[in-house]
Amino acid sequence: KNQVEQSPQSLIILEGKNCTLQCNYTVSPFSNLRWYKQDTGRGPVSLTIMTFSENTKSNGRYTATLDADTKQSSLHITASQLSDSASYICVVRLISNFGNEKLTFGTGTRLTIIP
Amino acid sequence: GAVVSQHPSWVICKSGTSVKIECRSLDFQATTMFWYRQFPKQSLMLMATSNEGSKATYEQGVEKDKFLINHASLTLSTLTVTSAHPEDSSFYICSASPGGTGNTIYFGEGSWLTVV
């Protein structure tokens, strides 16, 4: 079972509409949680970084929330645009007792915006 | 802002040959870089952690003799796919961070490898 689960697996919405993507994780202890946007055939681009103590962080039309108690995060996209069509990946970063870092990637949500 | 550059963006090679992919951090030093591969419609899979000046740490199931990693400087890591086979065809991505738990991890643009 993947330690970082995302839902839905894919989503299609009309341009201008809002949507929310979910990320549930079981990895612990975690250092921070990140949301990335990945266009097809390109490297991921960071949207938000949230530490354990942060509940909400915004980046333009993207707003991420984090509930460390329930180990859930969400990414809300407001007023979607065609350019938002991409895969959105939730990534949990661990720092071990030995100082090694490890990233655990979610399975991603494929978002398609239609005009 | 910080940029991680990969080269080449895409490469086609014959079976049995070796191909090298470079990952450079352009405006910061990175003692650690990471290499991933990604199959179509799947998430990134960590292959190995590249440590400057020392041996790379490979994830379970990744053949270290097949995927040679060299982190010769604080701004350059290379991944060499040796004796490539068609099943090695994939999208390879590297990442690096200026350091610190809160710092952004920057990903390269990725390299498409096709083995024919």
- Unique residue bearing structure tokens 């190995």: B48
**Closest residue, chain A, to B3 (C-alpha):** A45
Tell me what pLDDT residue B79 has.
96
Asked if the model's pLDDT at residue B2 lies above 80, the reply is no
**A78: distance to nearest CA of chain B, Å?**
23
Confidence class for position B32, pLDDT limits 50, 70, 90 = confident
Mean pLDDT by runs of 10 across the 115 residues of chain A is 86 97 87 90 88 91 94 97 96 74 85 96
Tell me what pLDDT residue A97 has.
65
Would you call B73 helix, strand, or coil by DSSP?
A: strand
Tell me what pLDDT residue A3 has.
86
**A95: distance to nearest CA of chain B, Å?**
8
What single-letter DSSP state applies at residue B104?
P
In 10 A of CB B65, how many CB atoms? Answer: 8
Tell me what pLDDT residue A5 has.
92
Residues B10-20 have a mean pLDDT of 96
The top-scoring range by mean pLDDT among B17-26, B35-44, B50-59, B68-77 is B17-26
Residues facing A87 on adjacent strands:
A38, A110
How far separated are the first and last CA of chain A, in Å rounded? 36
CA A55 to chain centre: 14
Do B105 and A46 lie within an 8 Å CB cutoff?
Answer: yes
Task: Tell me which residue of B91, B94, B84 sits closest to B111, measured CA to CA.
Answer: B91
CA A111 to chain centre: 12
The pLDDT tens digits for B84-99 are 999 999 999 999 887 6
Tell me what pLDDT residue A51 has.
87
- Contact predicate B79/B11, CB 8 Å: no
- Contact predicate B67/B85, CB 8 Å: no
